[in-house]
Copies of this chain bind each other. A is one copy, B any other.
Amino acid sequence: MKDFNFYAPTEIVFGEQSEEKVAQLVKKYGGTKVLVHYGGQSAIRSGLLDKVCDQLAQSGIPFVKLGGVVPNPRLSLAQKGIELCREEGIDFILAVGGGSVIDSAKCIAYGVPYEGNVWDFYLGKAKATAMLPLAAVLTIPAAGSEMSESSVITNEEGDVKLGYSNNLSRPKFAIMNPRRTFTLPAYQTAAGVTDMMMHTMERYFTKDDDMDFTTDVAEAMLRSIKNAVFAVLKNPEDYRYRAQIMWGGSLMHNGLTGCGVTEDWATHQLEHELSGMFDVTHGAGLAAIWPSWARYVLHENVSRFVRFAVNVMDVPNDYTDPEGTALKGIEAVERFYHAIGMPVNIKELIGRDITDDEIREMTRKCSRDYTATCGGLKVLQAEDMEAIYRMARG
């Protein structure tokens, strides 16, 4: 079993009345002037942005607003935010939105006290030792960024999408009102659940399969969320199951399901190039890659895939044919993706055949010009990445 650290200090305030606590929480964590960071029109239309700003104003906390975050959030907006924070003397960032807004907020928060270019952190050229405190009012459960140390930013120059992880960036608090997720379209809901399940599956498929407690908890979470998504696709205003999904999204990516194991993350790495190139929804991109990745790496740990098939996907265990059971588990995941409206290959994802040139370009980027590997269960070289992209073309 691997030694591990677990650190998830974010204060979670969950429920229908949670938003009313935003100003007192900002004060508790030392904010005296706030950047309210958000995305497009939905935070305005829903009234949430006004509600948050009203709470701050009533409590005498000055704030500045910066909207316009898009899915796969852009470095250029974050750089604008960094300048704005410096000019205005901001000391706390409040992200009102989903993972993209929170990740953009993290990038701004890294950048404000840093003299160089914030992109250095994402390139691995520097390590952040200080950042502005930040918090989230969550509207889209998926990325888990509200409790995690991760963030992903896209640099428009070269369409490069890179992640940076640092415990400093774990939000001070996260406000979660499941009612705010009632208006999420079915596709976004399903892509979000795919993303959160993948955050745990990236940790589950490992050769360090002796940390049973982590595995047992991970399987329970995967089963629970897998069932919950059908309830909310049937009835988008089902508070009970919207709540399960919202809370699940945080716990499935705060580190809990990775304690004691070597994590994988190849599917995420492979998908980053897909959404970098085609600007597709991250969760849908994961669904398009995972089945091919799974078939490609299956033999690295067949018994783990059997366990997953039986305990998560409800596949009957054929004890005489472990590989057959494992493959049935992967097929069951494909049926599940289709049932919730997700693709299972790249053709279904982008609506056309991907070209050989595009596959080669994604391979080049994912392998950092043939210098980098990815993955933990099987360490993927560039030729493995290309093979998986080809299997996934559909």
Enumerate chain A interface residues (CB-CB to B < 8 A). Answer: 1-9, 11-18, 210-214, 216-217, 219-221, 223-225, 227-228, 239-241, 243-244, 247-248, 251, 256, 259-260
Contact = CB atoms under 8 A, between A and B. Distances in A.
B221 A1 contact: no
Given A217-B221, A220-B217, A12 B3 contact: no
Given A3-B18, A220-B217, A224-B216, A211 B243 contact: yes
A244 B14 contact: no
Contacts of A259: 14, 247
**What are the 8 A-B residue pairs with the smallest beta carbon separation, nearest first?**
A3-B15, A9-B9, A220-B220, A6-B12, A216-B224, A213-B244, A216-B220, A7-B11
Given A2-B15, A3-B16, A13-B5, A213 B225 contact: yes
Count the copies.
2
Contact of A212 (B11, B228, B239): B228
Contacts of A251: 213, 217, 256
Contacts of A8: 8-9
Contacts of A228: 212-213
A182 to B, nearest CB: 15
Contact of A224 (B212, B221, B244, B256): B212
A18 B244 CA distance: 34
A1 B240 contact: yes
Nearest to A311: B220
Nearest to A252: B213
Given A210-B240, A224-B217, A15 B11 contact: no
Contacts of A211: 243-244
Contacts of A6: 11-12, 14
Contact of A12 (B7, B217, B243): B7
A17 B3 CA distance: 8
A179 to B, nearest CB: 11
B244 A212 contact: yes
A251 B256 CA distance: 9
A321 B143 CA distance: 43
A346 to B, nearest CB: 32
A214 B244 CA distance: 8
A241 B210 CA distance: 9
Contact of A217 (B18, B210, B217, B241): B217
Contacts of A9: 7-9, 11
A25 to B, nearest CB: 11
A260 B239 CA distance: 13
A245 B334 CA distance: 35
Contacts of A260: 14, 243, 247
A1 to B, nearest CB: 6
Q: A2, A12, A227 — which one has the most chain B CB atoms within 10 A of its CB?
A: A12
25 contacts: A1-B15, A3-B16, A4-B12, A4-B14, A5-B13, A5-B14, A6-B11, A6-B14, A7-B9, A7-B12, A14-B259, A211-B244, A212-B224, A213-B221, A213-B225, A213-B228, A213-B244, A213-B248, A213-B251, A214-B247, A216-B220, A217-B217, A217-B221, A217-B224, A247-B260
